[in-house]
Structure 1
Amino acid sequence: MRRAYKYLPKKPNWFPPILKFLKSAHIYTGIALLIIGFIHGYFALGTIKLHTGLILWMGILFAFLGFLFKNKFGKKWIVYHRTLGFILIGLFFLHYFFPWLIK
């Protein structure tokens, strides 16, 4: 969203506070997504096994680990984080529409 805002010809003054809030909430929503995703998978299957949801959850875990080690990676971590974000969107749709693709 920050990149889209940068290219707007007329910048609305209500947008920066929203970006500031989303930036601070991003970490907590990522942690919540990890926890809720794990609980969802465990309750849905009754166990943890190879499934499109597990692959999606592992991708989210890798994105979070990239954040944790961002000081070690330097500025390259954000490219990794954003690229993985786009991959996660694809994995989400794969899991949503074809959950039993892997049996």
Structure 2
Amino acid sequence: MVKILGWSNTVLVAIMTLMYPLKKYSLASSGEKKRGKNGKVLEMYKKLRKAHPDIGYVIITIGLIHGYLAVGFLKWHSGVLVLNTIIMMALSVILGQRIKRMKSNWCVVHKLLSIALILFIINHIFR
């Protein structure tokens, strides 16, 4: 069960990470929507964008259950870095939309944390 939860979360994080490339691929450099094949990609992006917050909460919940089943509660291991990074990503969005000074920077923080998250996941899987 622990491995199923861990790999499920890894797949969900991979799907969430696809948002940025999907957005870039589906929009023209001028900012206009491309037609044809890219229009379908844009539809996928819009659906994923709508589900993004809910999937994030699912990832946090599965991460907590996975960690508890794997090592118990309050034990330091590489998964704690992964889970803390995901929580910081959620907080960057929540606080970024409410705190005036963060309104223009929360997206950059969220993207930088996603890079750290990928590195921590790789470390967690192969450690």
Report the TM range for the smaller structure's normalisation.
0.7 to 0.9
The aligned amino acid for 2:86 is I
- In the TM superposition, residue 46 of structure 1 has moved relative to its aligned partner by 2.2
Percent identical among aligned pairs is 28
- With a CA cutoff of 8 Å and minimum separation of 6, indicate the structure with the bigger relative contact order: 1
Pairing partner for 2:109 from 75, 80, 102: 80
Q: Which runs of 5+ in 1 are unaligned?
A: 99-103
Conserved 8 A contact 1:56-1:91:
yes
Q: Which runs of 5+ in 2 are unaligned?
A: 1-21
- Aligned ranges 1:62-77 → 2 under 5 Å: 62-71=88-97, 72=99, 73-77=102-106
| CA distance in structure 2 between the partners assigned to 1:18 and 1:6 by the alignment | 12
Describe the SS at the equivalent of 1:49: coil
The aligned amino acid for 1:43 is L
RMSD value, Cα: 1.6
Moved segments of 4+, more than 4 Å: none
Q: Give the total of aligned pairs.
A: 97
Aligned to 1:40: 66
Describe the SS at the equivalent of 2:76: coil
> Normalized against structure 2, the TM-score is what?
0.71
> Normalized against structure 1, the TM-score is what?
0.86
